[in-house]
Amino acid sequence: MNTQLPRILAIDDDQDWLNQIPLILDEECIVDGFPTVDQGMQAIQQGDYDIILLDINFEGDNRSGLDLFRRIHAVDRGADVIVISGETNSERLLAIFNAGASLCVSKPASPDQIREAVRKTLRNREIRFRALHLATSADPKVGPVLVGNSPVMLRLRADILRVVNSKAENILLTGESGSGKEVVAKTIAMQGGRTGKMVVVNCGALSDGLIEAELFGHTKGSFTGAVGERVGAFEAANGGYIFLDEVGEMPLHQQPKLLRVLQERSFQKIGTNHETPVNFRMIAATHVDLDKAVEEKKFREDLKYRIAREVIHIPSLRERIEDIPELVAWYLATVHAHRNKKFTNEAMELLQAYSWPGNVRQLHSIVETLCNRCTENVVREKDVCQVIPEVSTIFTSQVTKALVGRYGSQLVTSEKRRFEKAIIEAHGDRTKAAEILGLSRATFFRKAKDLGLVKTRVMGA
C-alpha cells in the first residue's frame, strides 16, 4: 500500500527540521531525510523520488544552492524540487528558479505551508504526466485528443458518446471561434462506427459562385472554366461524414439546396439532370446564434431544425479555466523543443485570469510565443505580462479607474459579467457560483471582491 505513495527526499542540515518532515507529511508521502549534500545525492542515485525538498545553504559546505540543483537535475530530471530555505539573496533564488525549481518556501515555514507546497507540486506533476501520456500514446485511429477534465469537458465527452450511440444523421456543434469545434467533429467521425472519413467544407470561406461546385461537383463543360469533372464534397463523403464548418454564414439563397440534400440524401451534380444517391452523416458547426439569424431572415428556420436534430455545445475556454494547466502541459508535451519548459504557479494563475476571446486556439498561440521568447526553461509571471499586458492588473487588490484607463476596461468588464452570470445562475449561492466558474471558494471570493461584486466574505454564503 505504502509503495504507491509519493516519495519525498528532504536534504537539510537542520536535523530537527528533518525530523519534522515525516510528521508533517504523515500518511500522504514516504519521506527520506539526509543532513548532508553527499548523502542526499547518494540517495537520489539509489532511489526514485517524486519531490526533493532542498535547502540551499549547508553549514561547512561552500557549494551553492545552484550547484546542488544542477547536480540533482543531472542525476534525476524527473523529480520536482521545492526549495525550502532561509536564503534572502534574491539573485541566488532567481537563478535556481530559472534553472527549473518548482516552488520556493521561506523558512521558518509552517506545517500547512509545507503540506500545501507538496500537494500543489504533486497536482502539477499529475497534470504534466497525464498530458505527456496523452501526447505519446494518442492513437490516430481513435481520433484527436480532447484535453481537460473540468465538469464541462466531462459533459462534452458524455454528449459526444450519446450522439455517437444514437447514430444521428445530422449534428450541430455550437460554440465560439477557436473553441475546438473541428476537433469535436473529428472525434465524432472517428468514433461513429463508420470509416472515420470526414470531408471538411468551410462554408464561410467559399464565394457564392463556388458553393454549389464545392458541395455537389460538376461535369466537364457544365459552365465556363469547367475543364474537367469535379467530385463534390457530398459525393466524397459517401460512407462517412461531411463537416460543414461555419454553416451559419452560408448565403440565404443557397440554403434550400443544402436543405434538399439533407432531406433526400441525394443531389444533382452541376451539368446533369439525374439524382445521385449518397450515404453520409452531416456535422455542422457555427459560432452564429441561429435563432437570432432566423429572426433576422438570414437563416432558414426549416434548415435550422434539419441540421439541429442533435446539438452539442462546445464550451469556451472561459468556461473551463481549470483545464488551462493541462492544456499548457499538453502543448509542451507535443512540441519536443519545449518539453523541458515549466510555467511558474504565478504565471499559470495569470493565464487562468485572462478572458481568452480566441479560446484554445489563442492559448496555444500565446504559449508558443512565451516558449519561443523565454531563453530560460522557466516561464514566469513577468513573461506572461509582457505577452498579455492586460492580465497584470485584472485582480489586484484595487481595480482603480486609473488602471482601467491604462489597460482598458474590456477585460475587466468581461470578467465581471462572467462572475455576475455565475452568481445569477447559482441564485446568489456564492459556493455554487464558484463551482460553476471552476474556482475554489477562496479564489472566487478574492476575485469577486476585486471586481466589486462582494464587499465582505460571509461564512456559509
Q: What is the pLDDT of residues 174-206, one digit of tens each?
A: 999 999 999 999 999 988 766 668 999 998 888
Confidence check: pLDDT of 64 > 80: no
What is the CATH T-level fold of the domain 318-450, as seen in this structure? Helicase, Ruva Protein; domain 3 (1.10.8)
- Mean pLDDT of the residues in the chain: 82
In this chain, the answer to whether the domains covering 2-135 and 151-313 adopt an identical fold is yes
Predicted pLDDT of residue 417: 72
Q: What percent of the chain has pLDDT over 70?
A: 86
Quick one: average pLDDT of 301-318? Answer: 93
pLDDT (tens digit per residue) in 206-233 = 877 778 888 888 777 666 666 667 888 9
What residue spans define the domains of the chain? 2-135, 151-313, 318-450
Maximal CA-CA distance, the chain = 94
Amino acid at 83: V
Q: Is it the case that residue 3 has pLDDT exceeding 70? A: no
pLDDT at 459 over 60: no
330/141: higher pLDDT:
330
User: Per residue in 168-184, is it b (16+ CB within 10 Å) or e — as a string?
Assistant: beebbbbbbebbbbbbb
The CATH number given to 151-313 is 3.40.50.300
Its pTM stands at 0.71
Is the model more confident about 60 or about 332?
332
Taking a C-beta distance cutoff of 8 angstroms, is the pair 388, 394 a contact? no
What does the pLDDT read at residue 226?
A: 62
- pLDDT given for residue 10 in this prediction: 92
- CATH number for the region 2-135 comes to 3.40.50.2300
Angle between helices 37-46 and 65-75 (to 10 degrees): 10
> Which has the higher per-residue pLDDT, 377 or 396?
377
What is the average per-residue pLDDT within 403-430?
A: 64
- In the block, residue with C-alpha cell 446539438: 311
| Backbone torsions φ then ψ of 230, nearest 5 degrees | -120, 135
Q: Determine if the peptide bond prior to 108 is cis (ω within 30°).
A: yes
Lowest mean pLDDT among 151-165, 247-261, 314-328, 396-410: 396-410
- 451: DSSP letter: T
Q: What is the pLDDT of residue 461?
A: 40
Partnered with residue 276 across adjacent β-strands are: 267
Write down the pLDDT at residue 263.
92
> Of the candidates 384, 359, 364, which has an alpha carbon nearest to the alpha carbon of residue 374?
384
Give the other-Cβ count within 10 Å of 401's Cβ.
Answer: 8
Q: Is residue 454 scored above 70 in pLDDT?
A: no
Would you say residue 406 has pLDDT above 70? no
Which residues share a beta bridge with 245? 202
The residue-averaged pLDDT of 430-453 equals: 79
Amino acid identity at 432: K
Asked if the model's pLDDT at residue 362 lies above 70, the reply is yes
Alpha-carbon separation of residue 77 from 8, 85, 117, 232, 457 (angstroms): 15, 21, 19, 53, 43
pLDDT tens-digit profile of 6-25? Answer: 999 999 988 988 999 999 99
pLDDT for 419: 81
Grid coordinates belonging to 5: 505513495
Residue 460, pLDDT score: 39
Beta bridge mates, 31: 8
Kindly report, residue by residue over 242-292, the tens digit of the pLDDT. 999 999 999 998 899 999 999 999 988 887 888 889 999 999 999 999 999
- Per-residue pLDDT for 77 more than 70? no
Rounded average pLDDT over 387-393: 75
User: Which of 214-223, 320-329, 397-406 reaches the highest mean pLDDT?
Assistant: 320-329
Nearest-angstrom CA–CA distance, 7 and 223: 73
* Digit-coded pLDDT (tens) for 80-110: 888 888 877 767 777 777 777 778 888 888 8
What integer pLDDT is reported at residue 369 of this predicted model?
A: 94
Better-predicted residue by pLDDT, 324 or 349: 324
pLDDT above 80 (res 396)? no
208 in Cβ contact with 254 (< 8 Å): yes
